[in-house]
Structure 1
């Protein structure tokens, strides 16, 4: 990279991300802190809620504020009974799942407005009151991606992170887990207990979570300074410790050492009814209770814990960039595998991920990793953002080198921890770490909807004492710019010799010096390329 490019990066690296998805932003309004008070009963589908919302105004003249909250319809949703600020009532309109507050007077930049909303109703989603696999009553939230509004009045978009408190009143035979640190458990004397959790690190609205059940709770000690907990149904005490705790210890150690300090006050792994897989709530990860088994859930736990760094602490500003969460968790799970299980297991995982990425490209023609002004939140996730997103990180590591890759990742986390980020922000960090212009790389891999394919071969020229390689990209459209490796195996040589070229055209010829004819020449021997296929053989 030239000195001019480095200087330009220094001047532009930390610009604000652009708006892309269609969620209606509110300029001048910043959610600062939420206090959610929720009363639950195991004999009613209704909840009673009171939310205190602290907003920071960042410009003068704001006269209305909109919060997301599901409207009542068909026996579900929330009904608001009052909104106040201090002792004064606030005018509001609640319709079409939006609660609009009219401010008593226009805002002043730098001042806070604190509003308390009283409401009740039966959540249609977001918070589920149900029976667990043992037939016992429980309640678990699952707010992904925009279902916090089903039971909590919030600015329900990842671009507006805030600290929060969850104060849950429930029958005393149940225990309550939530984000952050436990502040108090108070028996109210009427058969109910009030449990207060406080999340002191700002998070996106959907990451707020509660679980209410007759839990077995295991405090598993400290890992890299992090309190580790296991919360499972009381019948699953032994299985929960096996399933969660070994992989969790490894994951916290690995990510803390290689990325940066764990961002939250604790890590609770929670077996939850009503979900499958895992949901990476900040400091309280929920996993489907029916997946609980007799063996450690190594890959699942490693993936969800990776999200504590990527997706939770460093959060995409916009749903179009959801790959910054899921692609990162996918690849960092593979890096976890590489660290603990070795190169062969890593390559096996890469190969399976590549197959899923290419299959998804074929099933979703015209769709790229970065969404294009996403409006339909049911389409926010697909295997491209997971598998192809993860492969983009792997190829980036191949382009910039492992040392620069890790240096960039650590700087990215340090700079954007507890903040929002865009793909361009990440690109600029990696450009600074590698001293390379990477716009071409991000554009072709994140914005094109298909991957390259290759066809070619090699022959040996004994007169010139060289290997002659012919290689073509056979995909439709323009050529990809790709670093390509050839692995040369020669008789009597203990190790494969690696030669690397940069291919920039659809068809290319290369020559490689060789005193004797090789036994074999392999294409992409170290598994660096995402491709739909490759045919590479010895030519006549």
Structure 2
């Protein structure tokens, strides 16, 4: 994700926003075991340091099938049915799902009616009988999905000028549909979206069916690769879907307001070349399709929803944004398809792996295509790095987001401050080893989850020596270490001195 600048400038400065982290906590399973006297239902989480109540222990989701009915008013709740196919990883007498900001009408587990109650931001389901470890389960929830803003909450449905889109990062997928809302539990997705004729519905993946019935049309989409809940995307509006071919025949589809179709073509036609450039750096594009979704909305950010990145319309229409800058932001979100979407964080503390890499390729593209020196940008990042660490924590141990401001997690230290780590690594191990590491990383962990420790191990293997000490200093220290190869680089003095 990338924050959109709000001040006029001839050379706008970027911030970005995104997330990645590593964890797997399981100490809560005992509270889920069948017991003769069940304890009161309570919210659970998998122990993420930054989002402790996100995700749920005791099961692994294989797939979601989400049916949404939109009646043409983006202020009123949608009718919805979410079907979750999963397998238990421990014995369960209750199943916790993340879900808030919608009304639950009924829940079935394996075809039988189940009791349910809401507590915190969890939907707690009690099946007719306890479930054994390793048992398959199908949970069907009939509910509403409310696009109205939630008090003290960010993300979920995003009302646009002509309909709706989704912006679920980092912890808002469960404000749209019941789920295990943590990137550590990726799954396949199917969407069925019913909307009035005259509107177009688009979602992640590829379209598999379209059916018109009277005054409505139902659009169905499937992902061909697993996806984290925070990357889900559904767009409904008066949109045009613009199709073209990318490298190796890759289907490229962009979704834009119909009234802006011609105006935006100058930007849309650049995507195949940008994909080709990224493939030249890190290898084949990892998914079944790609494109940009341009929304009539003021979000304050751009977002790498899987196969269909979300952008604010004004990024492409404000005259003060230089062409090279807009191009590089498009590449930032494209790079996330490899770094963050295909290779997803195992915990949110690893956000630097997402945003650092996306920022790196954003800056590298600007250097190669617009002669904006990467070294100059990294030297300025080095100068500011200690201040960024003081404000937001070191790259791999970011400070918690401010209460009620989840996107405040996306501070400069996870963008340029983390790209600086990659620059230092390239200086340390050499460009050839660095480029090999990048390709091996996205190939080794494709369609899965990875941690900072995984990156350190792979980098050490690539370099042929232990880089543990190097990464300990660059990823976790309060102060920025000396830059390899640049003993003359200096840091800004502490604020107030």
Query: Where on the TM-score scale, by shorter chain, does this alignment land: which range?
Result: 0.7 to 0.9
C-alpha displacement of 1:24: 5.5
Query: For residues 58 and 286 of structure 2, what CA distance do their matches in structure 1 show?
Result: 27
Matched, 1:31 2:57: no
**2:394 corresponds to:** 368
CA distance in 2, matches of 1:86, 1:18: 27
Among 393, 407, 427, the residue aligned to 1:398: 427
The match for 2:378 among 338, 343, 350 is 350
How far residue 141 of structure 1 moved from its aligned partner, in angstroms, is 1.1
Higher RCO, Cα 8 Å, sep 6+: 2
Cross-structure match for 1:518: none
Q: C-alpha distance in 2, partners of 1:419/1:530?
A: 39
Q: 1:439 aligns with which of 459, 468, 471?
A: 468
Which residue pairs with 2:351 in the alignment? 322
Q: How far is the alpha carbon of 1:483 from its aligned partner?
A: 3.0
The 1:353–1:192 alpha-carbon spacing in structure 2 relative to 1, beyond 3 Å, is: farther
Q: Deviations over 1:423-480 (max 9, x none)?
A: 11100000000012111111111112232xxxxxxxxxxxxxxxxxxxxxxxxxxxx4
Cα gap change, 1:332 to 1:282, in 2 (>3 Å): same
Equivalent position SS for 1:370: coil
Tell me, in whole angstroms, the C-alpha distance in 1 between the residues paired with 2:158 and 2:471. Answer: 43
CA distance in 2, matches of 1:446, 1:101: 40
**Counterpart for residue 265 of structure 1:** 288
TM-score, length basis structure 1: 0.75
- Aligned counterpart for 1:119 among listed residues 143, 153, 161: 143
Query: Are 1:288 and 2:289 an aligned pair?
Result: no
The separation in 2 between residues aligned to 1:40 and 1:432, in whole angstroms, is 51
Is 2:249 aligned against 1:221? no
| Residue of structure 2 aligned with 1:304, choices 299, 321, 333 | 333
Which string of whole-angstrom CA distances, capped at 9 and with x for unpartnered residues, describes residues 354-373 of structure 1? 455455346x17x2222368
DSSP-derived class of the 1:395 partner: helix
Cα distance in 2, alignment partners of residues 357 and 240 from structure 1 = 37
Question: 2:257 aligned with 1:233, yes or no?
Answer: yes
* Deviation of 1:217 (Å): 2.0
State the superposition RMSD in angstroms.
2.4
1:504 — aligned with what?
A: none
State how far apart, in whole Å, the 2-side matches of 1:105 and 1:288 are: 48
Kept in 1: contact 2:171–2:181 (CA 8 A): yes
The yes-or-no answer on 1:67 pairing with 2:97 is yes
Describe how 1:41-120 pairs up with structure 2 within 5 A. 41-43=71-73, 45-59=76-90, 61-70=91-100, 77-120=101-144
| Separation in structure 2 between the aligned mates of residue 215 and residue 316 of structure 1, nearest angstrom | 32
Give the CA deviation at 1:399: 0.3
What are the equivalent positions in structure 2 for 1:371-390 lying under 5 Å apart? Answer: 371=397, 374=400, 377-390=406-419
Alignment match, 2:212: 187
The whole-number CA distance in structure 2 between the counterparts of 1:530 and 1:182 is: 52
CA distance in 2, matches of 1:425, 1:17: 12
Matches within 5 A, 1:151-166: 151-166=176-191
Matches within 5 A, 1:326-337: 326-337=355-366
Deviations 1:476-516 (A, max 9, x none): xxxx465345xxxxxxxxxxxxxxxxxxxxxxxxxxxxxxx
Q: Call closer, same or farther: CA 1:179–1:121 in 2, change over 3 Å.
A: closer
**What 5-or-longer segments of structure 1 have no aligned partner?**
1-15, 71-76, 452-479, 486-522, 534-540
* Displacement of 1:407: 1.3
Contact 2:245 2:251 in 1 (8 A): yes
Indicate the structure with greater strand content.
1
Match of 1:476 in 2: none
Taking the aligned partners of 1:142 and 1:215, their CA distance within structure 2 comes to: 18
1:388, distance to aligned residue in structure 2 (A): 0.9
Seen in structure 2, the aligned counterparts of structure 1 residues 89 and 392 have a Cα distance that, compared at 3 Å, is: same
Q: Partner residue of 1:483?
A: 484
Q: Distance in 1 between matches of 2:269 and 2:479?
A: 40
Work out the CA distance in 2 between the residues paired with 1:87 and 1:412.
41
Match of 1:537 in 2: none
- Normalising to structure 2: TM-score of the pair? 0.81
Distance 1:406 1:64 in 2: 47
Mapping of 1:457-536 within 5 angstroms? 480=481, 483-485=484-486, 524=488, 531-532=491-492
Q: Residue 16 of structure 2 corresponds to which residue in structure 1? A: none
Q: Which has the larger radius of gyration?
A: 1
Mapped partners of 1:267, 1:349: distance in 2? 29
Structure 2 residue aligned with 1:474: none
